[in-house]
């Protein structure tokens, strides 16, 4: 996953979070500064030990009881409100397909990367759309639905629980509908055995679901600053951070389960599932912030259980088997009486509902409550979009369990017994178990990983009498030493030194050397030596510690390789900004063997490039001259021919390079406003900016993980820029401390200044004060940092008063005055969307340049033709008929889901929605149809779609306003991307690309040229700037796939069709795929899509069936090894 979320609470340096989870003390692991959710007196050690010794074994037994292993759920016909066609409600289908994935940004979520997994084999043909699943929702594939006699009795004993919910936020009962399980939705339900259907790797790619969940976590109360995915940590309100950490903890637990049960039986181990330890370390081990969130979620669940203890103690765990019920009740009592729940009260009191919804404003407090509940319920609804049934089962369980915990914590205690259903109890306990198990799995998989890499854990020695638990636990775990244990052993070491010195056994010089060594950070080996010798044999300890000191001093004399960006090893380039421009420059430079340090102040890569939705221009099947002409026309009197020529001439090669490097589909071509031909490219099933930035981010993230020539610094704020002795110094603020980076060149790719209106020194208000009350589509990071730093060292600035207003920023009618708007893609007007005034009449050429359409809007507004209140100032109607909506299906679906587009029936419904007179509206549509037939209209429009608008068809309507969208002005550059000073001379070693630079677009940017500029100039700078490190090309970043040296493997034997045909029965099942034969005997019964799909192709070539829903890479990813090649 993508793990595409803001990485909250990162530690100062990457360490194995598994080790931290097991051992680190609270002050270094769960610090109060993150969310203020834990108490110092009950630290991670306490919780971990209690989990391992008490909670984990109790919960294991509890979830295996009949009561807790049965979960009532709807898996056959869920209703997904996301990723449906606009007319989906009129065309019900049982096929579990979707039209694509939600846009993904940055380095977030990376658990299930794009193009990685799908769901499993299928004997059916693929759906016509690019499906992200193959399971039919009504089928029995993937789920073991068999119940024992005892379980069937328990099923019959269940009542029909349909608790009613209340919705007034001023009532104590407001939170009781925080989590409505399937039983409350009147759906087709069944009881599923959770033990028979454990969570494990099914091959399903759930990245789009996780991304959508993180996108939903967005509060917008009491501030004009956009929050959620595009916000900084500081801008996220407390309530938002709490939900984020719970969601991230859920994500971590799921990923641990997948890594634990990754390789199917028969691939790595006979008869059982095997872990993917490398995936575990990549997804979990290298991300300590995810550990914090897992632990935080675990603590929140424990607190909910503790608050509900009286209710759970008296609960009737009724299954129809008295003996079984007594066992369940006894286990629950043991859980509630455990030491952690009974003694560690500060841990629970440090996080409580009184810290939520604190506001002096009653209205704001009510809004926070509404948004908190609404966001969580939206997230839970997303689980119905999971197409893998087993995955959906566990997603539903987790969402209901978290919702139950929140409901318990936020509701008065006297309501718990009347508002908590049986399914709530089952879900709460089961996800508490899943998180408890995840904590234990981390310890075991970390240990196994080290053993496989020849780093065997130390054998445990008998603990001397009186030795502390913290010290004793150092043995056998082979994990970093916790702070509390280091302090205890350091204390023993210092006592030994003092003892030896006082006895005259340690010369003063040696004493000082030892003290310096111990206080500056003694190695774990020396501290472990102190554990065994410092007390009983202090002289021996001091003698061996001195030996270790001399050894370290000798090793220090050997020069070590400094990281790129250090003073001793300057990087070829420091790239500041992680949008598409910065990523393009970095990839191009790394491909040449250069060294790069990238600095990005957001927690993820992508920037505003990730928001681009209409496309990227390229003169691939059109002429360079026509792109030059259209760009020049849009640029107006400020057009700079040399920059425009570079942009157009390099467009085809640069976009082809980007497409090849990222593997992003750019097959759709459209004509946007201001263009004379169709040259704007975009994916067939996704948003172009999100796809490109996600894919490029994956390339760079993987390169950074391998070390070498590339360092990636996220959440790092640029604070200063200077130059001395031909080396640039860049100061950045990372985790509260300042770090200085050194580079031979600096590439400024920090974006524009369109969200700079509230900065201490606002470039926007300085150069365009008339735009102070205009909303914006830009992220809060767009504050012109690079422009300001470049200006301060003498760079020239150009066109600073040229700020592009995009004509269509969506108005959210629920909060019409919100300052930050969602961009309404140019594509919607390109496919035939119309702009109407308050009377229902057209007033402009919808395909004109952005500035032309904005000018028409401002003129109409001045004439009193904008929509009346409660619509905001300068608002107009956007109308798409059903044919246009179909052509922009993905966009319409997403905007409809967000409540920005509304479906209405016929012209009458359209007129009623906006208060138009029907006759005037009908005449407007007739005039448009007539103009389309003649090929021109009174507004100068000459391009029309090849359809007629019908009065009886459905329409999709919304409100739009002009918004600040792009700043054409910025740092002066030449055609090489070099920064120019005020005298038009180059500043050596300084480059500017993307929106940070100025002059490329002149008076107004042409739609689709933003991503193109990033790609063309980013790639050009990366290919042209001098390399001094003399490195070889980075394998991970290089476009060419390098051969991996490995021992020569035994040549696979040839298998004939006749021999293959003999292996088609249960117990002996082979399948040929891509010319190789695989033994599926053990895997067939584990296949998440059901065994029949594999039996259908047993003993034959199943490539066509497999290819319909999978890709070839899945075979290797899942660990399958061929037994031969098909002759």
Whether 83 has a pLDDT exceeding 60, the answer reads no
Lowest mean pLDDT among 220-224, 254-258, 736-740, 947-951: 220-224
Mean pLDDT value of segment 596-610 = 89
Whether 1044 has a pLDDT exceeding 50, the answer reads no
Which pLDDT does position 1107 carry in this prediction? 64
Percent of the chain with pLDDT over 90: 33
Which of the four pLDDT bands, split at 50, 70 and 90, describes residue 362?
Answer: low
Which pLDDT does position 158 carry in this prediction? 57
Which pLDDT does position 857 carry in this prediction? 97
> What number of CA atoms fall less than 13 Å from residue 522's CA on the CB side?
32
Whether 199 has a pLDDT exceeding 80, the answer reads yes
Whether 390 has a pLDDT exceeding 60, the answer reads yes
969 versus 20: the higher-pLDDT residue is 969
Which pLDDT does position 149 carry in this prediction? 58
Lowest mean pLDDT among 269-278, 391-400, 906-915: 269-278
pLDDT, tens digit (0-9, with 9 covering 90-100), for 665-695: 898 898 887 899 999 998 876 678 888 988 8
Whether 333 has a pLDDT exceeding 60, the answer reads yes
Selecting among 245, 392, 744, 806, the annotated active-site residue is 806
pLDDT, tens digit (0-9, with 9 covering 90-100), for 513-546: 888 888 766 777 788 788 777 877 888 888 888 8
Which pLDDT does position 216 carry in this prediction? 61
Which pLDDT does position 1001 carry in this prediction? 94
Whether 495 has a pLDDT exceeding 80, the answer reads yes
User: And the tokens for 555?
Assistant: 């090793």
pLDDT, tens digit (0-9, with 9 covering 90-100), for 736-759: 889 999 999 999 999 999 887 765
Which of the four pLDDT bands, split at 50, 70 and 90, describes residue 898?
Answer: confident
Query: In which region does residue 1030 sit, left (phi positive, over 0), alpha (psi from -120 to 50) or beta (all else)?
Result: left
Residue whose token pair is 């992680």: 578
Beta bridge partners of 1078: 1071, 1122
- Look up residue 1042 and give its DSSP letter: P
Which pLDDT does position 246 carry in this prediction? 87
Which pLDDT does position 526 carry in this prediction? 82
Mean pLDDT value of segment 472-501 = 64
Q: How far apart are CA 874 and CA 889, in angstroms?
A: 27
Mean pLDDT value of segment 819-839 = 91
281 versus 632: the higher-pLDDT residue is 632
Q: How far apart are CA 1073 and CA 1052, in angstroms?
A: 14
Break the chain down into helix, strand, coil percent, rounded to 5. 45, 15, 45
Selecting among 200, 661, 768, 829, the annotated active-site residue is 829
8 A C-beta contact, residue 610 and residue 583 = no
Range with top average pLDDT, 6-10, 289-293, 325-329: 325-329
Which pLDDT does position 130 carry in this prediction? 25
CB atoms within 10 A of CB 120: 27
Which of 355, 92, 91, 78 shows the shortest CA–CA distance to 190?
Answer: 78
8 A C-beta contact, residue 341 and residue 305 = yes
Instruction: Report the DSSP pairing between strands 1076-1079 and 1068-1073.
Output: antiparallel
pLDDT, tens digit (0-9, with 9 covering 90-100), for 633-645: 999 999 999 999 9
User: And the tokens for 696?
Assistant: 């490029």
Long-range CB pairs of 448-451 (<8 Å, 24+ gap) are: 448/275, 448/277, 449/277, 449/278, 449/280, 449/281, 449/285, 450/478
Query: How does the average pLDDT of the chain come out, rounded?
Result: 77
**Residue 560 is a catalytic residue:** no
8 A C-beta contact, residue 1101 and residue 1070 = no
Q: How far apart are CA 459 and CA 478, in angstroms?
A: 9
Is 761 in a helix, a strand, or coil?
Answer: coil
**Residue 806 is a catalytic residue:** yes
pLDDT, tens digit (0-9, with 9 covering 90-100), for 131-155: 222 232 333 345 766 766 566 656 5
Q: How far apart are CA 743 and CA 728, in angstroms?
A: 5
Mean pLDDT value of segment 804-830 = 89
Which pLDDT does position 99 carry in this prediction? 28
| Residue 1054, burial from CB neighbour count under 10 angstroms (0-12, 13-18, 19+) | exposed
H/E stretch holding 970:
strand 970-972
H/E stretch holding 959:
strand 954-967
Which of 294, 346, 342, 291 shows the shortest CA–CA distance to 55?
Answer: 342
Mean pLDDT value of segment 801-809 = 92
Q: How far apart are CA 332 and CA 61, in angstroms?
A: 10
Q: How far apart are CA 298 and CA 306, in angstroms?
A: 12
CA angle 147, 151, 157 (to 5 degrees): 135
Query: In which region does residue 935 sit, left (phi positive, over 0), alpha (psi from -120 to 50) or beta (all else)?
Result: left
Which pLDDT does position 119 carry in this prediction? 28
């Amino acid at each position: 996953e993508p793990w595409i979320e803001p990485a909250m609470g990162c530690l100062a340096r990457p360490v194995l979070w598994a080790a931290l989870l097991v051992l680190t003390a609270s002050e270094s692991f769960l610090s109060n500064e993150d969310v203020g959710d834990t108490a110092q007196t009950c630290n991670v050690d306490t919780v971990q030990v209690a989990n391992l010794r008490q909670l984990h074994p109790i919960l294991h037994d509890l979830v295996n009881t009949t009561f807790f292993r049965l979960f009532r759920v709807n898996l056959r016909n869920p209703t997904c409100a996301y990723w449906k066609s606009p007319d989906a409600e009129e065309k019900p289908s049982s096929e579990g397909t979707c039209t694509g994935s939600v846009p993904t940004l940055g380095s977030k979520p990376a658990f299930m990367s794009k193009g990685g997994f799908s769901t499993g084999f299928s004997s059916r043909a693929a759906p016509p759309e690019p499906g992200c699943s193959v399971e039919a929702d009504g089928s029995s594939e993937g789920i073991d639905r068999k119940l024992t006699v005892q379980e069937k009795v328990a099923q019959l004993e269940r009542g029909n629980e349909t608790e009613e919910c209340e919705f007034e936020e001023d009532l104590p009962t407001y939170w009781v509908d925080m989590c409505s399980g399937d039983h409350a939705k009147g759906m087709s339900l069944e009881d599923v055995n959770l033990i028979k259907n454990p969570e494990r790797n099914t091959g399903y790619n759930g990245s789009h679901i996780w991304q959508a969940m993180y996108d939903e976590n967005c509060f917008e109360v009491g501030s004009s600053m956009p929050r959620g995915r595009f916000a900084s940590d500081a801008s996220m309100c407390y309530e938002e951070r709490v939900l984020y950490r719970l969601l991230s903890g859920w994500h971590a637990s799921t990923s641990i389960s997948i890594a634990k049960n990754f390789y199917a039986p028969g691939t790595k181990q006979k008869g059982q599932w095997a872990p993917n330890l490398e995936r575990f370390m990549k997804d979990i081990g290298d991300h300590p912030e995810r550990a914090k969130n897992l632990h935080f979620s675990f603590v929140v669940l424990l607190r909910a259980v503790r608050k509900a203890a009286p209710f759970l103690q008296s609960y009737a765990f009724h299954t129809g088997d008295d003996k079984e019920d007594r066992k369940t009740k006894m286990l629950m009592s043991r859980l509630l009486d455990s030491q952690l729940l009974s003694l560690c009260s500060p841990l629970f009191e440090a996080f409580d509902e009184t810290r939520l919804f604190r506001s002096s404003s009653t209205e704001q407090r009510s809004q926070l409550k509404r948004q908190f509940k609404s966001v969580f319920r939206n997230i839970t609804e997303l689980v119905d979009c999971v197409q893998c049934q087993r995955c959906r089962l566990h997603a539903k369980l987790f969402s209901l369990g978290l919702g139950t915990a929140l409901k318990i914590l936020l509701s008065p205690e006297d309501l718990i017994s009347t508002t908590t259903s049986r399914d709530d109890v089952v879900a709460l306990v089961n996800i508490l178990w899943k998180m408890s198990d995840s904590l234990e799995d981390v310890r075991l998989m970390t240990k196994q990983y080290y053993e496989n890499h020849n780093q065997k854990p130390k054998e445990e020695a008998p603990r001397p009498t009186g030795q502390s638990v913290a010290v004793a636990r150092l043995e056998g775990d082979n994990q970093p030493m916790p702070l509390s244990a280091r302090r205890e052993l350091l204390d023993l070491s210092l006592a030994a030194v003092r003892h030896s010195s006082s006895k005259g056994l340690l010369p003063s010089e040696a004493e000082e050397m030892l003290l310096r060594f111990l206080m500056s950070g003694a190695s774990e080996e020396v501290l472990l030596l102190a554990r065994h010798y410092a007390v009983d044999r202090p002289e021996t300890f001091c003698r061996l510690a001195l030996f270790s000191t001399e050894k370290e001093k000798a090793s220090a004399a050997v020069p070590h390789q400094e990281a790129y960006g250090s003073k001793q090893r300057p990087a070829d380039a420091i790239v500041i900004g992680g949008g598409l421009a910065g990523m393009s420059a970095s990839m191009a430079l790394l491909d040449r063997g250069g060294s790069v340090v990238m600095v990005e102040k957001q927690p993820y890569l992508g920037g505003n490039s990730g928001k681009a939705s209409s496309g990227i221009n390229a003169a691939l099947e059109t002429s360079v001259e026509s792109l030059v002409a259209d760009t020049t026309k849009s640029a107006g009197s400020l057009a700079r021919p040399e920059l425009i020529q570079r942009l157009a001439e390099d467009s085809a090669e640069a976009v082809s390079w980007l497409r090849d490097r990222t593997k992003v589909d750019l097959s759709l071509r459209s004509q946007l406003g201001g263009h004379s031909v169709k040259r704007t490219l975009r994916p067939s099933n996704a948003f172009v900016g999100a796809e490109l930035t996600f894919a490029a981010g994956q390339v760079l993230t993987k390169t950074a993980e391998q070390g070498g020539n590339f360092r990636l610094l996220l959440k790092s704020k640029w604070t200063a820029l200077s130059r001395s002795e031909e080396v640039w110094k860049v100061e950045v603020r990372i985790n509260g401390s300042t770090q200085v980076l050194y580079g031979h060149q600096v590439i400024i790719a920090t974006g524009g200044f369109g969200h700079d209106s509230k900065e201490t020194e606002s470039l926007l208000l300085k150069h365009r004060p008339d735009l102070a009350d205009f909303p914006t589509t830009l992220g809060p990071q767009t504050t012109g940092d690079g422009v300001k730093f470049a200006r301060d060292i003498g760079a020239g600035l150009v066109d600073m008063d040229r700020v592009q207003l995009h004509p269509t920023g969506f108005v959210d009618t629920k909060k019409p005055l919100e300052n930050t708007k969602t961009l309404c893609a140019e594509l919607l007007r390109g496919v035939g969307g119309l702009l109407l005034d308050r009377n229902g009449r057209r007033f402009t050429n919808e395909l004109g340049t952005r500035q032309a359409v904005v000018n028409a809007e401002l003129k109409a507004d001045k004439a009193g033709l904008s929509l009346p209140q409660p619509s905001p100032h300068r608002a107009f109607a956007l109308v798409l008929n059903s044919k246009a909506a179909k052509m922009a299906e993905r966009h319409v679906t997403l905007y409809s889901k967000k409540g920005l587009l509304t479906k209405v029936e016929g012209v009458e419904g359209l007129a009623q929605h906006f208060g138009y007179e029907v006759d005037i509206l009908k005449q407007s549509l007739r005039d448009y149809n007539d103009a389309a037939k003649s090929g021109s209209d009174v507004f100068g429009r000459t391009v029309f779609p090849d359809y007629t608008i019908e009065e009886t068809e459905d329409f999709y309507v919304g409100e739009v306003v002009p918004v600040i969208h792009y700043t054409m002005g910025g740092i002066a550059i030449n055609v090489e991307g070099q920064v120019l000073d005020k005298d038009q001379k180059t500043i050596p070693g300084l480059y500017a690309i993307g929106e940070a630079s100025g002059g490329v677009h002149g008076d107004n940017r042409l739609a689709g040229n933003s991503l193109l500029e990033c790609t063309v100039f980013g790639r050009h700078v990366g290919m042209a700037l001098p390399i001094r490190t003399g490195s070889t090309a980075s394998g991970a970043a290089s476009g060419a796939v390098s051969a991996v040296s490995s021992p020569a493997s035994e040549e696979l034997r040839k298998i004939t069709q006749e021999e293959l045909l003999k292996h088609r029965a249960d117990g002996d099942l082979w399948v040929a795929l891509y010319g190789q034969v695989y033994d599926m005997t053990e895997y067939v019964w584990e296949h998440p899509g059901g065994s029949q799909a594999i039996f259908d192709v047993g003993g034959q070539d199943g490539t066509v069936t497999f290819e319909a829903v999978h890709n070839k890479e899945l075979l290797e990813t899942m660990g399958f090894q061929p037994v031969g090649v098909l002759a």
